[in-house]
């Protein structure tokens, strides 16, 4: 039994050693990328932060509470405008703030009410888009930074080659080649992730825009009901 236990444990030790060597190799490769990799790492952290923060915020704004509009409709039919405003303030969403502005303009021409609602809706969408432009910039700048690291790495490799004369070996060129290849991969990874994050957020914002437009039309229909 003791011999069997020893035989069973040997592969586990070897696997752990191989995994450790792999992690050390990947880390050393990243370090060889130089200062470009540091910029890419910072950019990736910023991209992830913007995506998570905006995704949560936009998802909250995209929630469609049918009971909210039903309550607003009921309050308005009963003439309880103050109660409708209190409900909007308590709900505190882009939709509720837009509807609150419309309620505060009741008594003025319908065109003025609709314009006020649209202005608030545009401001709310603009607030949701904060940071999205930076995410788009990272998606474009990431691969370019990686390409810059590639050029710098190749220049370094050729410079080392020219200075070595006839004593050229692979170890001499490895530093520049490492930098050239690693920064390219790092830049592509950051750029692809930022591009995916950007498009996900844009799709979510489009949902919010459609929601606000449909609810503004519904609100204007409520205002037009007494005239029928």
Above 70 in pLDDT, residue 60?
yes
Above 50 in pLDDT, residue 109?
yes
Confidence of residue 199 (pLDDT cuts 50, 70, 90): very high
SS3 (DSSP) at 87: helix
pLDDT score at 190: 92
Assessment of whether the complete model's pTM goes beyond 0.85: no
Q: What's the CA gap between 227 and 196, in Å, rounded?
A: 48
pLDDT score at 48: 95
Number of other residues whose CB lies within 10 A of the CB of residue 146: 25
More confident position, 88 or 35: 88
* Percent of the chain's residues with pLDDT above 70: 75
- Contact, 105 vs 116, CB < 8 A? yes
pLDDT score at 65: 75
pLDDT score at 153: 76
pLDDT score at 6: 39
């Amino acid at each position: 039994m003791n011999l069997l236990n020893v035989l069973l444990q040997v592969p586990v030790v070897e696997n752990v050693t191989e995994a450790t060597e792999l992690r050390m190799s990947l880390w050393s490769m990243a370090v060889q990328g130089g200062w470009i990799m540091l910029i890419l790492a910072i950019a990736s952290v910023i991209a992830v932060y913007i995506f998570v923060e905006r995704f949560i915020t936009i998802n909250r704004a995209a929630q469609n509470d049918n009971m909210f509009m039903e309550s607003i409709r009921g309050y308005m039919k009963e003439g309880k405008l103050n109660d409708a405003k209190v409900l909007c303030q308590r709900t505190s969403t882009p939709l509720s703030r837009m509807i609150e502005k419309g309620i505060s303009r009741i008594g003025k021409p319908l065109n003025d009410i609709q314009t006020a609602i649209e202005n608030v809706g545009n401001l709310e969408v603009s607030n949701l888009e904060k940071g999205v432009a930076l995410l788009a910039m990272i998606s474009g700048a990431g691969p370019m930074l990686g390409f810059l690291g590639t050029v710098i790495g190749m220049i370094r490799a050729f410079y080392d080659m020219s200075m070595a004369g006839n004593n050229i070996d692979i170890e001499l060129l490895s530093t520049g080649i490492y930098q050239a290849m690693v920064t390219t991969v790092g830049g592509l990874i950051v750029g692809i992730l930022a591009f995916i994050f950007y498009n996900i957020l844009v799709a979510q914002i489009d949902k919010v825009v459609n929601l606000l437009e449909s609810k503004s039309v519904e609100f204007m229909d409520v205002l037009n009901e007494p005239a029928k």
